[in-house]
Structure 1
Amino acid sequence: MQEISGRRSNRERTEETRASLLSAARTLFIEKGYADTGTPEIVKAANVTRGALYHHYRDKEDLFRAVVEREATAVSADIERRAGTAANPLDALTAGSIAYFDAMAVQGRARLLLLDGPAVLGPEEMSRIDRETGGGSLLDGLAALLGRAPDLEMRALADLLSAAFDRAALAISRGARRDDYESAMEKLLKTLAISEAR
């Protein structure tokens, strides 16, 4: 049964409310930081009631988690889109590297995912979010590059490489030359491929 034109369904209203809250919260978390952002500001910026906020999210931290998850999902989608068309594993990892830096160049994203996210949610929760939003694609890419199934050593290598990507993204967000980090990452990936081929 079709809805009457001009009337929104409950689902549409729910999605609009959530989108408004996420958008307003993202803006304020970036501008002021998590600690200095209050829920009254968020509901005012989102143009919703305080009850609407607590209907959708348990508290400010839960809303922050949703913002972080949305950002992490967007980063993962950008990487998958770009790396998925590569001809070989090294090209895929290189394309994914460039896509990661592009995605992390979105205003405020480095702060949300690399500074405030770990500080507010903790490293374990950030690791869970990373795993659930595509963090396994780096491990899969390394497995393809190195030609073997993921093992504990490769998981450790993926963690180290992920940390290197994050450190580079933070440096770039603070004004470091992106070309230098892209070049360094490409050399690192090539070195991994060469060393495994020996």
Structure 2
Amino acid sequence: MQDAKARSNQERTQATRTALLAAARQLFVQKGYAGTSTPEIVAAAGITRGALYHHFADKQALFRALLDDEARAVAAEIEHAAPIDLPVRDALVAGSLAYLAAMTVPGRTQLLLVDGPAVLGPSAMFALDAEHAGRTLREGLQAALGHNLPHDATSDATVDALAALLSAAFDRAALEVAAGADAEAFRTAMIGLVESTVPTASAP
């Protein structure tokens, strides 16, 4: 009986959090972070302000949690497209294309690449990316290039720098596509960029 009650409480808690994040996402995409108030969020979610502050310290904490969910979803798409048994060069190409596709989810580019840096700052967004899509890219580059580099701090810095440069290029591609650019042209360019970065010999 106690276990059933605990499960029921956990389900209610999760349902409230989910409703808050869904309502906040819709409003942030429609009106922007600055143009969205917490009363609007709780009204759209159908809960009280007290419930909001039970889950999140403030609007920024709610926004950060939303961005974390979005970034985690992008990383999941990349990992699904690039399983561990795929040759590393092919995996990098597949993961790069999966990133671009994942960023076409309505509102995601605005949240992660426009509003996120403006609200949380570049450093916080770099850290968020490093936990998710950036992590998958760095792991792929390390697998592809690691055996061609000495295992020391210099090689780690080289991989980090390549990951940062490619990540910036991929983010720009996502922004261009969101603005109406030719998605196929950017997919082709991304493939060429990855293939020029990772030699064919790196593939097993």
Distance 1:158 1:19 in 2: 32
Q: Which residue of 2 is the match for residue 20 of structure 1? A: 19
Mapped pair 1:109 → 2:108: yes
Could you tell me the percent identity over the aligned residues?
A: 53
Instruction: Provide TM-score, normalisation by structure 1.
Output: 0.92
Mapped pair 1:178 → 2:177: no
Distance 1:182 1:174 in 2: 15
- On the 8 A contact 1:86/1:95 being kept in 2, the answer is no
Residue 140 of structure 2 aligns to a residue whose secondary structure is: helix
Distance 1:135 1:50 in 2: 35
Instruction: Provide TM-score, normalisation by structure 2.
Output: 0.90
The structural deviation recorded for 1:93 is 0.7
Alignment of 1:10-49 (within 5 A): 10-49=9-48
Q: Which runs of 5+ in 2 are unaligned?
A: none
Distance 1:93 1:171 in 2: 21
The structural deviation recorded for 1:189 is 1.1
Consecutive aligned runs of 4 or more in structure 1 exceeding 6 Å deviation: none
Distance 1:147 1:156 in 2: 14
Equivalences, count: 195
The structural deviation recorded for 1:8 is 6.5
Q: Which residue of 2 is the match for residue 61 of structure 1? A: 60
1:59-93 CA-to-partner distances (Å, cap 9, x unmatched) read 10000001100000000011011111563111101
The structural deviation recorded for 1:98 is 1.3
* CA RMSD, Structure 1 to Structure 2 (Å): 1.9
Q: Which runs of 5+ in 1 are unaligned?
A: none
Task: Give the letter for the 2:170 counterpart.
Answer: F
Alpha carbons of structure 1 residues 161 and 181: separation in structure 2 relative to 1, 3 Å: same
Alignment of 1:1-198 (within 5 A): 1=1, 3=4, 9-84=8-83, 87-148=86-147, 151-194=156-199
